[in-house]
Chain A
C-alpha cells in the first residue's frame, strides 16, 4: 500500500497547505491543512456502486441538430458498469425516466445544445455555445441500478420538458 501510494503521491513540499489571501478580501482566510481536506471514509455516503453488480444501458441516439428528422435510437446495449452520477446532478431540459417497479427520473441537458467551444484570446466571450446541425450522434449512459440495487428498469423514456415531447421511448430487455 505504501509503495503504491508513494508512486501516486510524491512529497515535494515540507509544509502543509498555506496560501496568500487576496488583498482587500476580508472573507478570504488561510486554507486549512490538507488533513482537513480529506473526508474520512466513515463520513461518506454510498451513492452509486461501481464495478460490482452495477449495470447500465448505453443508448446510441441519432439526434437532429436542426430538427429536420425525428430522434431515433440506433442501438441499446447493456454493460456491467456503473453509470455517471446522474442522480447527484440536477437541471437540464430533458428528463430521463427509468420505468420499472417504480419510476426514477433525473434531468440532463439537451445534447444538441450542450456543446461549447473555447474562443481564441481577445474574443468577445471566452467560450461560445455551438449550434449543431445535421445528424448528431450521441451516446447516453443510463443507470439501471442505484445505490448498488437494481432498479428493475423495463423502459426508458426521455422527455423534452421544454416541449413536452417524448424524444425516445424504448423497452429495456435483460436488465437485472
Chain B
C-alpha cells in the first residue's frame, strides 16, 4: 500500500510537470538499512525487485560529505548525470521508474594512472558489500581523466554524459560494443553476430536488418544487424545518442524481467532532447 502511494504520488508530481531531480543535502535521508553506507536518492521501488540499481560513489575530492556544501556539490553532479545523461536517452527515459539511484557515504578515489591508461582507482569496500546489490557502481570525480569501466564498476566525470550512458548500457544490459575495431565484441543477438548467415537468418532483426561486417583489430569478423547506424554503443562525440533498434531488443529483454517496460519513441539514428 505504501509502495502504491509512493508511485501514485510520483505519478501525480511527474504528470504535472517535466521531471528534474533536485537532491537536497540539507535533509539527507537515512541509509537503506541500519549501519549501511548506501543512501537512497531516487528510489522508485524500495524492494528493488523491479529496478536496476545504480550507486554513485564520491571521489575524495568532494571533501567531507558530512559538510552540507560538499554533499550538495556531489548531489548536484549526480543530478547532472541523471538528467543530462540517462534521461537524455529515450530508452532510459521511457523506463525511468525501472532505475533506482543511491549514493555511498564512503568515498573512493580516481587519480591519474601510474601504469596503463585507466585511472588508478581505490574503491571503498562497501561497493561490494553494502552496495553488493548494485548493477552499476559509478565513481564520480571532478578531475579530468580518461575513464574506464571494469564490469559493473566505472569512473566518470559528472559531465561525460555519453560515456556514462555508453558504459552504463554495457553494465546494465550487457550490450556489446558496435564501433570498429578495438572494442569488446561477442555474439549478442540481435545486435552482433559472428557470421553473415547467422545475422541474415535471425528473424529477431528482420525489422531493421542491414547486416554489415567489420573486422576487429584482432582479426575476427563481426556482423552488425544495424548496418552503419550510429547509436549509443557505436558513436562518439559529446551528445548522448539513442539506442538502436537492436540495442533496444536486448534492453527490453532485461527490463521485461523486471516488469512491463516502456517502449522508446525514438531510436538511433534519430536524435531527441528530453523535455
Please give the residue numbers on chain A whose beta carbons come within 8 Å of chain B beta carbons, in ascending order.
Answer: 1-2, 4-22, 25, 27-41, 43-52, 54, 56, 58, 79, 81-85, 87-93, 108-109, 111, 113-121, 123-130, 132, 138-139, 141
Q: Which of A25, A92, A125 makes the CB contact (< 8 A) with B182?
A: A125
By a CB distance below 8 angstroms, the chain B residues around A31 are 90, 93-94, 265-266, 272, 275
- B15 to chain A minimum Cβ distance, whole angstroms, is 5
Collect the chain A residues with CB atoms within 8 Å of residue B42's CB. 8-9
**Is B271 in contact with A22, judged by CB distance below 8 angstroms?**
yes
Closest to A162 in B: B186
Query: Taking the nearest CB of chain A, how far is it from the CB of B183, in angstroms?
Result: 5
Which residues does chain B contribute within 8 Å of A126, judged by CB atoms? Answer: 162, 166, 179, 235-237
Main secondary structure of the interface of A (DSSP, over half): loop
At the interface, yes or no: B59 with Cβ under 8 Å from chain A? no
Residues of A within 8 A of B240 (CB): none
B118 CB within 8 Å of chain A:
yes
- Docked Cα-Cα span, A30 to B249, in Å, equals 21
B184's contact among A33, A47, A114, by CB below 8 Å, is which?
Answer: A114
B167 touches A13 (CB 8 A): no
Query: A19-B273, A115-B149, A118-B160 in contact; A34/B19 too (CB < 8 A)?
Result: yes
Q: Which 5 A-B pairs have the closest CB atoms?
A: A126-B236, A44-B259, A50-B48, A13-B18, A11-B17
* Residues of A contacting B213 in the complex (Cβ-Cβ under 8 angstroms): none
CB within 8 Å of A: which B13-35 residues: 13-24, 27, 29, 32-33
Interface residues of B in 150-183 (CB under 8 A from A): 150-152, 160, 162-163, 166-167, 170, 173-174, 176-177, 179-183
Does B117 touch A at the CB level, under 8 Å?
A: yes
The residue of chain B having its C-beta at the shortest distance from the C-beta of A140 within the complex is B151
The residues of B with any CB-CB pair to A shorter than 8 Å are: 2-7, 9-11, 13-24, 27, 29, 32-33, 41-42, 45, 47-50, 52-53, 90, 93-98, 116-118, 128-130, 132-135, 146-152, 160, 162-163, 166-167, 170, 173-174, 176-177, 179-184, 186-188, 235-237, 253-254, 257-262, 265-267, 269-275
Instruction: Tell me which residues across on chain A come within 8 A of B7, comparing CB atoms.
Output: 38, 40-41
A79 touches B129 (CB 8 A): yes
Q: Are B132 and A130 in contact (CB under 8 A)?
A: no
Q: Could you tell me if B174 and A116 are in contact, using CB atoms closer than 8 angstroms?
A: no
Contact A91 B270 (CB under 8 A): no
Having A22-B271, A31-B266, A84-B134, one finds 16 other A-B pairs with CB under 8 Å, namely A17-B275, A19-B273, A29-B265, A34-B11, A34-B15, A37-B94, A45-B49, A45-B258, A51-B47, A81-B130, A82-B132, A84-B135, A91-B176, A91-B186, A114-B170, A129-B184
